[in-house]
Structures are given as structure tokens and as C-alpha cells.
Amino acid sequence: MSNPHQNAITQLETVAAVLRQSYEDKESFDAAIDQLKTPDRVIEGKLRIRMDDGKVKTFQAYRSQHNNAVGPYKGGIRFHQNVTKEEVMALSTWMTWKCSVTGIPYGGGKGGVIVDPKKLSQGELQRLSRAYALFVAPHIGPWTDIPAPDVNTDGQIMAWMVDEYETAAKKRYKTLVENPIATFTGKPLLLGGSKGRTEATGLGGFYVFENLAKKMKLKKGATIAVQGFGNVGYWFAYFANKAGYKVVALSDSRGGIYSAAGLDPEKVLAHKEAGGTVGSYKGKQITNAELLELDVDVLVPAALENVLTKENAGKVKAQLVLEMANGPTTPEADEILAKKGITVIPDVLANAGGVTVSYFEWVQNLQGYYWEKELVLERLKGLMDEATDRMWQLKNDTKVTSRVATYMSAVKKVVDTMLLRGNEE
């Protein structure tokens, strides 16, 4: 299995080699890059939870804080059985670039717990969520580190964490915690969440795609395959379908479906929520591996990392790969896709809509003033369009790949801020 943190370091080194020539003080530049290869801090701990049967079970937990030169650490919390220390380190690194790409004033963070939440009761899930909030309480805050939902976590879990941070943590640490509402994002609307946050990641990716479709002269009716039918994959597919593009393949963790005539994501979701699976919807059943190799115009990996590898990248037929998942393409696969002339839009741009609207939520929480949905989406589109235009211009000017162009802009901003602060040593 590819080491995701090593992948993140390899990506950074590739971009640093291009950027280095433009820096007069190469020693300071090199020191900043070396610092960025390792998170500022990785917090590790064991969460002891009383299960419904009365037994106590222990779960391994992490929080990685990558870099805060530009602003507080920001990033989600995932509950998944395959969480590793290397994974959260990589994800926190990618979050730094993701925030930098769209120009929001955050650095990267990411948390995780090794657990299969499907095996927990609602009560056990709440106790685990509260235990995690206590675990990170000394290390987070609205100006320090702002967690959010990620894989297998949601607004309800954020609500439990906000409550634990505000009440139990206050008792435990004998001090008032600063603005608990602004310390977590992705919250329900009733608890200070932002309108538009639910669809933000998928919609942000669609804004990037729509902008690129014009630049690449992709016509309406272009075919799209989406791997992953969670929140992100669903909303991307929903907006693409509404705009007149043809979503021909969808999948979830249990398999997928293909229909040359096109699929309606709303109907597929209704089928799934009624107890079915994506793969049991009408059409041709396919595997997740087969979906990646379909003859389509656009491939959207929106599940987990490392699904495009050196073993299957040569079989990808899409003209455009839009990374809606975090780290779905290994560096070896990236090289193969580039040689094939396939445009790959990296995750740190494609799925930055979620953290962008989380930033809007944080701003609203700090002000105690809340925006209408139209304003949220208008501001989201503006930032995503600006980031996409900036990447495309740099790509054309320097003749590098879309990933390198995106990273050049993001890494340069973080390095320059570190050099201004003088904290690259």
C-alpha cells in the first residue's frame, strides 16, 4: 500500500524543485520546504469508551497540525477503520495547500479515529465523539485549530463535539473555552452552521469543472463517471446532471452501475435510501475498478485515496480526471496520466469548496451574523473560479501539469509567509 504521507512529500519536492530557482535566498527556501515535509505537531492518544454491553473499549486517535504560518490549523475528523498516522499527516499537509489555493487564511490540520462507526450504536458513537473532543480540547480553538466533519462524520457529530468542548472540557480544564461555536465547522444550522455547507464540496468541484469545461471546450452532454456516492460524489453528480452533462456511471463501496443513456443521481440516491445499493439500480453492474477504466470524457474519483495507481493508470481513458477525493492518485499514476495527455485537476483545488464554506461558517460565527444561501454560493463560486483561472494561467505560462501549477501557487504563498515571519528555521 502506498504511504500517503510519502506521496505528499514527493508532491512537495516536485514543486519545490520548480519554485527554488526563483528564490534568491535558497538556503532559507530549502529550510522552509524541509519544515513543510513534517507536520508541526501530531497528537496521539487512546480513547476509552464504555460500550452498550458495559465493557470498555479503546480506540486509537490522532490530530495532525501541519502548518499555521497563514492562519489557524483547519481540517476534518474522520472515523474509519483504515485511519493511520501517516494518513492524517498527509491529509493535514494537503489541507495546507487546499486553504492556500483558494486564499483562505488557514493552515492544514486533520484528525482521525481508528474505528468502524457502522459497528457502533448511536449512544456509542456519541460517547466516542465526545471523547475525541476532550482529547483535542487543549489543542484547538477558533484561533488555534478548527476541526470539521470528514469521512463518516457529520453535523450531528460536530454538535456533540461542540457541546463536549463547551461544557465538559470547561470543567476538566478549569477554564472557559473560547467561542466554542467558532471552534468547529460543518455544524447543523441550528447550532451556527452555514447555509450551503452540505453541498459545498461537491458544488465547489462542479464550479471548477464548469470553468474547465469552457477552457477545454467540453460540450454539454460530455460523459462523466463518478466513483464514490457519498456527500461529495452525490452533489457533484447532481449539479453536473442538472447542467446537462451525462452521468453514465456511479458507485459506492459495494459496487457500481453503468448506463450509456445516463443516470439521474436523485433517483439513484432515492433507491439507495430505500434500502438498495448503487449497484442494484437499473443498468449494468460494474466494479469500482471497472468504473475507473470506462471510456468517458470525465472521471471523478470521489471515494478514498490511492485508487489510481501505476497498475491501472495506463487504462484510464478519460480526457479529464477531477480529484474530488483526497489523494486518489499516486505520484507514479500521475506521471503515467501526464504522459497520456490526461488533464488531472488535483484534490487541493477540486474539493476545496468544503473548506471554503467552512471558512465562511467560521467568519459568520465570529461575527454572530449569518448570510443567506445565495450569498454563500456566490462567494464560493467567486473563489473557486479565481483559483481555477489562476491555476490554468500558470499552467499555460510555465507548461507544467495542472497539479504542479496548483501546487506552485499554493506552496509559494505558504513559503513566502513563513519567510516573512522568519520561522522557516
Residue-level pLDDT at 155: 95
Same domain for 127 and 242, yes or no, is: no
The residue type of 356 is T
**Residue 305 scores a pLDDT above 90:** no
pLDDT band at 418 (very low <50, low <70, confident <90, very high): very high
Q: State what percent of residues in the chain have pLDDT above 90.
A: 89
**CATH number of residue 322's parent domain:** 3.40.50.720
Beta bridge partners of residue 41, listed in sequence order: 65
Would residue 142 count as lying in a domain?
Answer: yes
Residue-level pLDDT at 7: 86
**Residue 170 scores a pLDDT above 90:** no
Average pLDDT, the chain: 95
Q: Give pLDDT tens digits for 307-327.
A: 999 999 999 999 999 999 988
Of 42, 187, 160, the residue nearest 109 (C-alpha): 42
Within a 13 Å sphere around the CA of 173, how many CA atoms are in the beta-carbon half? 19
Beta bridge partners of residue 112, listed in sequence order: 62, 78
CA angle 9, 13, 19 (to 5 degrees): 140
Residue-level pLDDT at 168: 79
pLDDT band at 1 (very low <50, low <70, confident <90, very high): low
Same domain for 236 and 344, yes or no, is: yes
Which residues, at least 6 apart from 349, have a Cβ–Cβ distance to it below 8 Å? 98, 101, 208, 387, 388, 391, 406
Would residue 370 count as lying in a domain?
Answer: no
Q: Of 181, 210, 227, which one is at a domain's C-terminal end?
A: 181
Same domain for 221 and 291, yes or no, is: yes
Same domain for 219 and 169, yes or no, is: no
Structural domain boundaries enclosing 268: 200-350
Beta bridge partners of residue 345, listed in sequence order: 322
Q: Of 112, 146, 181, which one is at a domain's C-terminal end?
A: 181
Same domain for 244 and 135, yes or no, is: no
**Residue 173 scores a pLDDT above 80:** no
- For the residues 217-235, what does the mean pLDDT come to? 94
Residue-level pLDDT at 304: 80
Residue-level pLDDT at 2: 67
Same domain for 225 and 176, yes or no, is: no
Would residue 421 count as lying in a domain?
Answer: no
Q: Give pLDDT tens digits for 342-354.
A: 999 999 999 999 9
**Residue 423 scores a pLDDT above 80:** no
Length of the chain measured in residues: 425
pLDDT band at 282 (very low <50, low <70, confident <90, very high): confident
**Domain tally, the chain:** 2
Residue-level pLDDT at 140: 95
Q: Give pLDDT tens digits for 61-99.
A: 999 999 999 999 999 999 999 999 999 999 999 999 999
Of 173, 177, 199, the residue nearest 186 (C-alpha): 199
**CATH number of residue 144's parent domain:** 3.40.50.10860
Would residue 4 count as lying in a domain?
Answer: no
Catalytic residues: 110
- For the residues 6-35, what does the mean pLDDT come to? 94
Same domain for 155 and 233, yes or no, is: no
Residue-level pLDDT at 327: 85
Same domain for 171 and 230, yes or no, is: no
Q: In what order do the strands lie in the sheet with 255-258?
A: 284-286, 255-258, 246-252, 223-227, 298-301, 320-322, 343-345
Would residue 367 count as lying in a domain?
Answer: no
Which residues, at least 6 apart from 322, have a Cβ–Cβ distance to it below 8 Å? 205, 208, 209, 212, 298, 299, 300, 345, 350
User: All 3 cell numbers of residue 306?
Assistant: 490511492
Same domain for 138 and 239, yes or no, is: no
For residues 324 and 228, is the Cβ–Cβ distance under 8 A? yes
Same domain for 167 and 208, yes or no, is: no
Residue-level pLDDT at 424: 62
For residues 360 and 376, is the Cβ–Cβ distance under 8 A? yes
